[in-house]
Structure 1
Amino acid sequence: MRNPRADSFGHGIPRQSDGRHEQLPAFEDSGHADPPAAPSPPSNWRSGYRDVLRIGEFRALWLAHALSMTGSYLLNIAVAVLVYQRTDSALATGLTLALTFLPPLIAGPLLSGLADLLPRRRIMIVSDVVRAVLVACISIPGLPVGAIWLLLFCSVLPTIPFGAARAALLTQIAQGERFVAGSTLINLTSQAGTLVGLAAGGAVVALIDARPAVLYNGLTFLASAAIIALWVRPRPAPTARESDRPSLWQVMRDGPRLVLTDARLRTLALLAWLAGCYVIPYGIATPMAAEMGGGAATAGLIMAAPSIGAILGGLPLTRLVSPETRTRLLGPLAVVASLPLVAWVLEPPLWAMVLLLVVSGMAASYQFVANATFVLCAPSVGRGAAFGLVAAGLQVAQGISIAVASFLVEHIGAHLVIASAGAVGALGAAALALPWSRLSPGAVRMMQDGPER
């Protein structure tokens, strides 16, 4: 999922007026809670990317995200190549990439809760620095494969509190539709990165070899940490007074309780986890291409199509459609995201597959809105843990669905597996669309109330 915020401007954050920024006093990472928020300016739902890019702190977060994402792509490719060079084993290489999916499953609820206990800027900086150190250790010559796997696993762990802290911090930096625009811009950057990241990463590894690529990759995380340290101002922890601060165990316990007992958050989480159904063509693109007599190029087209669709759909959905309408459309769009996959039962030609996946990706851009709505509807204290729980659940849903689909492909074929996943996803989305139609008006009101409820 991704993130959005609301309209109240607190002290220590740039106040926006006529497109200019008046700097207010900054807070330190420790100290006292925020003073009363300044009055909210009128909301303009047509605020665009230019508006949010005028905010210096958002530009810093956006650039830090792009660097971290680039580093992640390069790390995955370089380590996979490094392991393959050491073992000459496709299985070992596959296990290397699979390891990157495990940390959110094992430690997601625990580490994401840190974003509700500690200053979020500090969490992001420390996470990047720790990751850079761990990645540098992977490049040590002669390291056993088991040690490489352990370091790779540990290097993914900091991304959990980093993502939760960024999602929560963005609500304090950009409010209202600026938050939605900023959240969408970050998500679109991720989708574009999916299209170019793997290819660029492969080119870098081919140019300088795997071990130097791993070492240089650590520099992207250090650069991300430096950008955040220099251009994002310190703010106190969500609960600044030690006496009021919950324990990590309480945050871990209350995060799932918050999501499961709040009808809006629960429905949004389930809508997000439906991605486990329509991600399957991406996960089994290689065997599906083989069934069609194609190769890597065919698989690449299949894998790229959903991201192309998400970019094409996300831009108009978040910029041209009013908040009330796009929030209400979450249910129908979730249905459409899975429904095109049912056509796989007809074994369509490649051009039709790509077109259907682009349509699916366009509808799946509802995730941008769902992500923003979830973050803004969650209370400030508990937002990090709740976001981390749903993000971890999304990873688990995608990982399990791809694993199950990969197993079933061996028995019933890729086309039937994808058609079945589309049917399950469409039915699940339809079951959620009706209750969401009743909940969406209240969600819009909560989004407009402000991020620091």
Structure 2
Amino acid sequence: MSADEGPATFRSVLAHREYRYLLSANVFSWIGDYLARAAVTVLVLHHSGSVALSAASFALSYLPWLVGGPVLAAIAERMPFRSTMVACDLIRMLLIGLIALPGMPIWGMFALLFGTAMANPPFQAARSALLPQVLVGDRLVIGLALQQSTGQAAQIVGFAAGSTLAGIDPRTALMVNSVTFGISALLIRLGVHDRRPVGISQTRRPLLRETGDGFRIIWHSRVMRGIAVLVFATMFFGVVPEGLAAGWAQTLADDRAEAGWMQAMIMIASPVGIILGGLVVGRLLSAEQRRRSIPVFAVLTPLALVPAIFAPPVYLVSLMAFACGFMGAGMFPAANGLFVEVLPAGYRARAFGVMQTGVQVSQGAAVLATGVMAERFSLPVVVGAWSIGGVLLTLAVAFRWPSNTEISQEIEENRRANASPPGPEAPPPQTSRVESTKGAEHG
């Protein structure tokens, strides 16, 4: 589908058969994944009686990105994308099914959970590299926005269903998750073409060196580096409401029952904001307006949480979390689409691995840091002061945001490079093409 067939709309994106299959598969996979997270924490808590072990089971889903995400993403770039995704779904289907078996010890659950999570980086990297081959131009940005909003809706449904079903029988919830991975694999196999990486030759370099190329290709591009820093900084502050929801609800509630529904309000507010933000921004702003608004939305994301310093009631806390999610949704699809436009095609999966690892590290570090500070200081004051720091940091990054001239030049050079026949793969450039251009406009 050509990028110049008219303005991109949600209808035009959903009219693409291959994208519909891919999105449907993701919905099943997402719902099942969030359902399993809720169920596993309950199952581990029932078996061990330990809240710490229950929390650790939830945290395991982030660990593979920290210990090997970029390497696993580089592996995904060596194989056909559809085959990689189907294989990962089948592996997750099998391992989650084994966790649901009666009599599974705690150590066995943790081992199987870790194995399941290890399939996430190559699956997500392959999906990230595949999508720009399915949708092009502004349709890619709209498709990413729709994917983001759908993912947040799946998170709400998955957590709600998982918590409810886990209270009745957590093993049944895990079996449902196993089935969803099987459905995802079937949809991808039937509806997605078995596309391969483009822009690279069959001659590969050592795996660790190719993994390092994923870092270097981002660092040596002024536009990609700017996107990476802005995304990591925004995630470092935007994740706080969800990460501290339980503690925040405790400070606002008079009893446990009240704390429960308050926590639910705070946790759900951000995903709802992301859903509506993705739909509204994608609908009302043009592609150029969305691109120009990336640094603006980045600053507004932590700014939405600054009023926390005044210890507002739960309804205002939820409204702040909603606004934070809404602003983030205005930024991330456009930033992701721009990232793809300036990224050489042969580095898509590897660069995704680097970006996703940075996002995971940013989120985990932010929740850990603010949680530790909240042990010694008032939680609303911690969130408010943390967010003020976020505004200052994102403002500093926004002032260094590449100019329109630099962005356009990198996009054009990358289009020409991706259109060229692939030769032996070379390492990424040691200096940015745009940074070495004299007379470039600076924004």
Task: Output the TM-score relative to the length of structure 2.
Answer: 0.88
* Correspondence for 1:351 among 307, 312, 315: 315
Structure 2 match to 1:9: none
Write the deviation string for residues 55-89 of structure 1: whole angstroms up to 9, x where unpaired: 11101110111111011112112211211121122
Would the alpha carbon gap of residues 346 and 50 (structure 1) be closer, same or farther in structure 2, given more than 3 Å must change? same
Q: Does 1:204 align with 2:168?
A: no
Residue in structure 2 matching 1:328, options 292, 301, 317:
292
Q: What is the aligned counterpart of 1:427 among 392, 395, 400?
A: 392
C-alpha offsets along residues 337-359 of structure 1, whole Å, 9 cap, x if unaligned? 00122211111222222222222
Compare relative contact order (CA 8 Å, sep 6+) and give the higher one, 1 or 2: 1
Q: List aligned pairs for 1:257-336, cutoff 5 A.
A: 257-274=216-233, 275-293=235-253, 294-336=258-300
CA RMSD of aligned residues (A): 2.0
Q: Which moved more, 1:286-295 or 1:51-60?
A: 286-295
Please give the alpha-carbon distance, in whole angstroms, between the structure 1 residues aligned to 2:201 and 2:332: 35
Structure 1, unaligned runs of 5 or more: 1-15, 17-39
Q: Indicate how the Cα distance of structure 1 residues 391 and 47 shifts in structure 2: closer, same or farther if over 3 A, else same.
A: same
Q: 1:171 aligns with which of 126, 129, 132?
A: 132
Q: Residues 271-328 of structure 1, C-alpha deviation per residue, up to 9 Å, x if partnerless?
A: 1112121211211111111112250111111112222222222222222212222111
Contact 2:144–2:337 (CA under 8 A) maintained in structure 1: yes
- 2:149, 2:275 within 8 Å by CA — same for their partners in 1? yes
- Match of residue 226 from structure 1: 186
Residue pairs, 1:65-80, within 5 angstroms: 65-80=26-41
In the aligned structure 2, how far is the partner of 1:222 from the partner of 1:168?
A: 22
Q: Go from structure 1 to structure 2 and tell me whether the alpha carbon gap of 1:402 and 1:439 turns closer, same or farther (over 3 Å shift).
A: farther
Q: Structure 2: where are the runs of 5+ without partners?
A: 420-443
SS at match of 1:411: coil
Q: Residues 170 and 97 from structure 1, CA distance in 2 versus in 1: closer, same or farther, beyond 3 angstroms? A: same
Whichever residue aligns with residue 141 of structure 1, its letter is P
Q: Percent identity?
A: 32
Q: CA deviation at 1:397?
A: 0.5
Q: What is the aligned partner in structure 2 of residue 11 from structure 1? A: none
Q: How far is the alpha carbon of 1:241 from its aligned partner?
A: 4.7
Per-residue CA shift, 1:121-177, capped at 9, x if unaligned? 111111111111111221232222011111101101111111111111011111112
Of 289-298 and 443-452, the range deviating more from structure 2: 443-452
Partner of residue 115, structure 1 = 76
- Determine if contact 2:308/2:384 at 8 Å carries over to the other structure: yes
| Residues 328, 436 of structure 1: 8 Å contact kept | no
Shift of 1:43: 4.9
Deviates more, 1:114-123 or 1:379-388: 114-123
Q: Return closer, same or farther for 1:317/1:403 CA change in 2, 3 Å cut-off.
A: same
Q: What code does the residue aligned with 2:37 have?
A: N
Q: In structure 1, what residue type is equivalent to 2:328?
A: A
* Contact persistence 2:3–2:136 (CA under 8 A): no
Partner residue in 2 for 1:213: 173
Match of 1:255 among 191, 214, 219: 214
Whether contact under 8 Å (2:223, 2:402) holds in the other structure is no
Q: What is the identity, as a one-letter code, of the residue corresponding to 1:433? A: A
TM-score computed with the length of structure 1 as normaliser = 0.86
Residue 446 (1) aligns with residue 407 (2): no
Letter in 2 for 1:342: V
Q: Which of 329, 335, 338 is residue 373 of structure 1 equivalent to?
A: 338
In structure 2, distance between residues paired with 1:374 and 1:174:
14
Separation in 1 of the partners of 2:128 and 2:3? 22
- In 2 relative to 1, CA 164–422 (structure 1 residues): closer, same or farther, beyond 3 Å? same
Q: Which of 132, 136, 147 is the equivalent residue of 2:93?
A: 132
Q: Are the equivalent residues in 2 in contact too, given 1:99–1:153 (CA < 8 A)?
A: yes
Question: Match of 2:376, SS?
Answer: helix
Q: Determine whether 1:189 maps to 2:150.
A: yes
